[in-house]
């Protein structure tokens, strides 16, 4: 029974990884964070070179505890009774 529980956790993390990477590749974001619980986040971050994306996609995937900024977002969401699912950062385009 405990083996199935671990398998479900891994499946949930795998889905979150796919969703965050898809936001970067398809959505044009440079950072996507999926909140699985108060103590577990999945982050995908696209490496930028001199502030600009390169010709290839170099993506860093992080699974673990939320950092300071993410913990603050979780606290604010709890305070206002909201549920965080995913946050995405999209780079600004110059001149717009």
pTM of the entire predicted model? 0.82
Task: Please report the pLDDT score of residue 75 as a whole number.
Answer: 94
Per-residue pLDDT tens listing for the chain (96 residues) = 455 666 667 788 999 999 999 999 999 899 999 999 999 999 999 998 887 777 888 999 999 999 999 999 999 999 999 988 999 998 877 655
Domains of the chain, by residue range, sit at 2-89
SS (H, E, C) the chain: CHHHHHHHHHHHHHHHHHHHHHHHHCCCCCEEEEEEECCEEEEEEECEECCEECCCCCEEEEEECCCHHHHHHHHHHHHCCCCCCEEEECCCCCCC
């Amino acid at each position: 029974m405990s083996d199935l529980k671990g398998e479900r956790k891994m499946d949930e993390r795998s889905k979150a990884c796919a969703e965050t990477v898809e936001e970067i590749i398809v959505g044009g974001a440079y950072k996507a964070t999926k909140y699985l619980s108060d103590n577990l986040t999945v982050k995908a971050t696209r490496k930028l070179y001199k502030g600009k994306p390169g010709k290839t996609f170099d993506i860093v995937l992080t699974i673990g505890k939320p950092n300071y900024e993410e913990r603050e977002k979780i606290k604010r969401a709890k305070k206002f009774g909201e549920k965080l699912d995913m946050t995405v950062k999209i780079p600004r385009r110059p001149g717009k």
